[in-house]
Amino acid sequence: MKEIKPPKKPVIYYYIVILIVVMLLNTFLFPAIVRHSIKEVDYGTFLTMVDQGKVKQVQIEDDYITFKPKTGDTVYKTGTMNDPDLVNRLHKANVKFAKVVPRENSPLITFFWTWVAPLLIFILIGQWLTKRMQSRIMGGGGNGFPFGKSNAKVYVESETGITFNDVAGQDEAKEALQEIVDFLHNSKKYVDIGANIPKGALLVGPPGTGKTMLAKAVAGESKVPFFSISGSEFVEMFVGMGAARVRDLFKQAKAKAPCIVFIDEIDAIGKSRNSSMAGGNDEREQTLNQLLTEMDGFEPDKGIVILAATNRPETLDKALLRPGRFDRRVPVELPDLAGREAILRVHARKVKLADNIDFNVIARATAGASGADLANIVNEAALRAVRLGRNRVTQNDLEESVEVVIAGYQRKNAVISMKDKLTIAYHEIGHALVAAKQSHSAPVHKITIIPRTSGALGYTMQVDEKETILMTKEQALDKITTYMGGRAAEEIIFKTITSGASNDIEQATKIARSMVTRFGMSDEFDMMALETVNNPYLGGDTTLLVSAETASKVDAEVLKIIKTCHQNAKTILLNNIDKLHELTKYLLEKETITGEEFMAILSGKQLETV
């Protein structure tokens, strides 16, 4: 898409610049020219030149005398003296002379030009500026002060514009938006049958899933102008400014119809009016009211489609979501396995790749990643290839970039004592061994004890062989047991515990609490809903909707699950204590081992064949 440049500055700016230049020239250059063309002399020199017959013409004024010689173009100037014999000398030398008598202005005229005229000029300028400002604030036209003018970026059709081919992993969203594209191309067939195309479509989903890119793709496919503005750009300090900008935005859209208007982060102006406190932000409410009015103010066959994006749909005002405004809600969710692989291929188009790239492996290792995360992974892989002096991205670059995005860069200069290194090794092998000995855990993909910049001293990566949508109770319990494996290994080997299991404890507790309060996986509470999720696209914080007595029972049930899984992890490690020692020794030597190496040692194969 090619962005339209804003209109040129109004003519008044050029007038001001020209006036300043003329004033500077008049102050510094022109007086210098005048000074160079008039030469000052003393009165004696003047009389000598008169007596010698060198003066042609004299002009006598109150303060000075100017005279011109018979030869040359220079004009001379001298001061006046009380000389009664001057007139006789001029007559004797045949010099033409004249006495200049200054004309006195009327006191009334002097008062007018000195006081009244400047005051009138300032009043007229002030009135003009006030009218221009008011017209802009109220959404009027003109090129004056742009207080009420929207800051929307306008894009037009371009051969390099974004289309649906540039958006991967969102097939359902593209299908829902395809109808809007068809309407903008062939609106007549919809009008003939009496169908009304949706006035607006609301794109909802987590950050980084491609909502803005989808909106641009709709405009690129439709080949119509595309207005893009953020919801926060409407809100200003002055009440009424946001409403004026909404009016101006829709005025521009109607002038360029058919077109698409895209409002990003619409929750900045579209929050529910019922949720605001007493005496809330009048500016935001007026802006929302104006937006609702404008959406009702144009006919659906005009070819104006409003697209908006948000990751907080639950906060939007109900009037904004009713039929006739944002009729269609298009979910833009995190991509699945096939979607992640397609997104990786799209972003890899601009990168030189080696021949043996397997995007499916990277897609399986990035469950829960958004499109922006995957783009970042491809870019990190390209940067790593350049750092290592290669001109193509390899499979190893992509796999390492996944770890960079998840856990940060390697801390190569970190100094860790052998005792701590041994503890970390047993901790990570404890996770891997417990996971491998359970039937509902994902396979181990990689184990490392190299510290990362995120603060992780080591980690065990598990990658599912296929995409999982639902999680069974057995899978949830096995996940908690795997998290307990690191702490259990420390207890068994060192007879003490460290702070290295803090993140494991946090993740295990979160799963156990969800099993009790949300998933209905507890015998104590059966299928009773105890918790609600707020902002599902932004972290998903929860609110417990129970009494204090029930909350205490929930805590007891969560503790029971964690204790059971902790004991199961200990039992698995005690039953495989020899493998725990053997795998830890190998990990200490290599620092990083693959899942294949881990499984080979666990199954009793010779290390030489690994």
Q: Which residues contact 500 (CB under 8 A, 6 or more apart)?
A: 423, 424, 427, 457, 486, 490
> What are the structure tokens assigned to 594, written together?
């693959």
Does the pLDDT of residue 319 top 60, yes or no?
Answer: yes
pLDDT class of 278 with cuts at 50, 70, 90 = very low
Q: What are phi and psi of 452, to 5 degrees?
A: -120, 160
Residue owning tokens 């890899």: 348
Predicted confidence at residue 24, as pLDDT, reads: 58
Could you tell me what percent of the chain has a pLDDT over 90? 27
Q: Among candidates 567, 560, 554, 558, which has minimal Cα distance to 481?
A: 567
- Condensed to tens digits (0 to 9), the pLDDT of residues 172-199 reads 888 888 888 888 777 778 778 887 777 7
Does residue 258 have a cis peptide bond before it, meaning omega lies within 30 degrees of 0?
yes
Pick the CATH number of 11-99 from 3.40.50.2000, 1.10.357.10, 3.30.720.210, 3.20.19.10: 3.30.720.210
Work out the pLDDT band at 533, boundaries 50, 70, 90. Answer: confident
Give the DSSP H/E element, type plus range, for residue 65.
strand 64-69
pLDDT band at 139 (very low <50, low <70, confident <90, very high): very low
Between 446 and 83, name the one with better pLDDT: 446
Count of C-beta atoms within a 10 Å radius of residue 277: 6
CB neighbour class for 386 (10 Å; exposed up to 12, middle 13-18, buried from 19): exposed
The count of other CB atoms within 10 Å of the CB of residue 74 is 11
pLDDT tens column, 215-243: 888 888 888 888 888 888 877 655 667 78
pLDDT above 90: residue 468 = no
pLDDT for residue 509? 95
pLDDT at 385: 93
Selected residue with higher pLDDT from 34 and 590: 590
Instruction: Identify the architecture of domain 337-407 in CATH.
Output: Orthogonal Bundle (1.10)
Question: Which of 115-129, 347-361, 484-498 bottoms out in mean pLDDT, i.e. has the lowest?
Answer: 115-129
Mean pLDDT rounded to a whole number for the chain? 81
CB proximity list for 208: less than 8 A, separation 6 or greater: 370, 371, 372, 373
Lowest-confidence pick of 104-113, 248-257, 452-461: 104-113
Mean pLDDT, residues 387-391 taken together: 91
pLDDT tier, 114 (very low <50, low <70, confident <90, very high otherwise): low
Give the pLDDT mean for 256-285: 75
CA 136 from centre of chain:
27
Q: Which helix (H) or strand (E) holds 492?
A: helix 473-494
Res 342: pLDDT: 92
User: Residues 571-591: what's their mean pLDDT?
Assistant: 93
Residue 578, classed as helix, strand or coil, is: helix
- Among 74-88, 349-363, 416-430, 452-466, whose mean pLDDT is lowest? 74-88
Average pLDDT of span 381-387 = 92
pLDDT number for residue 100: 59
Among residues 283, 380, 403, 428, the one annotated as catalytic is 428
Instruction: Identify the three-state secondary structure at position 554.
Output: helix
Check residues 252 and 410 and name the one with the higher pLDDT. 252
Architecture, CATH, for domain 418-609: Up-down Bundle (1.20)
Q: Residue 144: its pLDDT value, please?
A: 43
Rounded Cα gap, residues 2 and 161, in angstroms: 7
Whether pLDDT at 499 is above 60: yes
Q: How many CB atoms lie within 10 A of CB 419?
A: 9
The reported pTM is 0.70
* Mean pLDDT of the 129-156 span: 55
- 203: confidence class by pLDDT, cuts 50, 70, 90: very high
| pLDDT single digits (tens) 75-94 | 888 877 777 777 778 878 88
Q: Which of 109-118, 245-254, 370-379 has the lowest mean pLDDT?
A: 109-118
**Domain residues of the chain, as ranges?**
11-99, 153-331, 337-407, 418-609
Question: What superfamily in CATH does domain 153-331 come from?
Answer: P-loop containing nucleotide triphosphate hydrolases (3.40.50.300)
The mean per-residue pLDDT over the stretch 553-560 comes to: 94
| 146 or 598: which leads in pLDDT | 598
Which of 231-245, 516-530, 554-568 shows the lowest per-residue confidence on average (mean pLDDT)? 231-245
Please compute, for residue 512, the number of CA atoms within 13 A of its CA located in the half-sphere on the CB side.
24
606 has a pLDDT exceeding 60: no
What's the pLDDT at 148? Answer: 52
Give the strand pairing for 444-448 and 326-331. unpaired
Predicted local confidence at residue 510, as pLDDT: 93
Active site residue 490: no
Out of 198-202, 431-435, 438-442, pick the least confident: 198-202
DSSP secondary structure letter of residue 111: H
The whole-number pLDDT of residue 159 equals 40
Q: Is residue 495 pLDDT above 80, yes or no?
A: yes
CA atoms within 13 A on the CB side of 62: 3
pLDDT, mean of residues 402-408: 82
Give the separation between CA 388 and CA 382, rounded to whole angstroms. 10
